[in-house]
Amino acid sequence: MMKSDRWTGLVVLLFSLYVCLESGRLGFGAYSRPGPGFFPFYSGLLLAAFSLVLIPIGFLARQEKEAPWDNSLNIFMVGLSMFAFAWLLEPLGFVATAFLFTAFLFSAVERRGWIFSLAAALLIAGSSYVVFDRWLQAQLPAGVLGK
């Protein structure tokens, strides 16, 4: 980790405190009937918790020289895959598109092995489906799997 983690953690902590203060003005409501400030407040608390973890890590970790991600081919492939994700979302559906997207990123951009890439893509696409479709009951594009 680098010295920038300390500053990033501090800036994110200040931002999350601001979000918590402003969401308190909106009103929390109750758990069974949340108000407009309910979700932003708890999101701000979670963000503050993450930043409070990041700040000490920035102090305790050794300074390592990180290689910049300057490979323009990787940048192009990530951008192209994001456009492909948006283009394939309706015809293929969310689960299949998320699987292909993450498998491509792990294998082609991060240069991971095929077994790891496919397993991670299956885990990410499956857990995204469970969270968004089953738990939150969001309407995701079904595509070929839903027809």
Q: What is the tens place of the pLDDT at every residue in 63-93? A: 665 555 567 787 888 888 899 999 988 889 8
Other CB atoms within a 10 A radius of the CB of residue 94 amount to: 23
CB 8 within 8 A of CB 53: no
Which residue type, as a one-letter code, is found at position 67?
A: A
Asked if residue 2 lies in contact with residue 20, where contact means CB atoms within 8 angstroms, the answer is no
Beta-bridge partners for 29:
34
Look at residue 68 in the predicted model and tell me its pLDDT: 52
Q: What is the pLDDT of residues 122-141, one digit of tens each?
A: 999 999 888 888 888 878 78
pTM score, whole prediction: 0.55
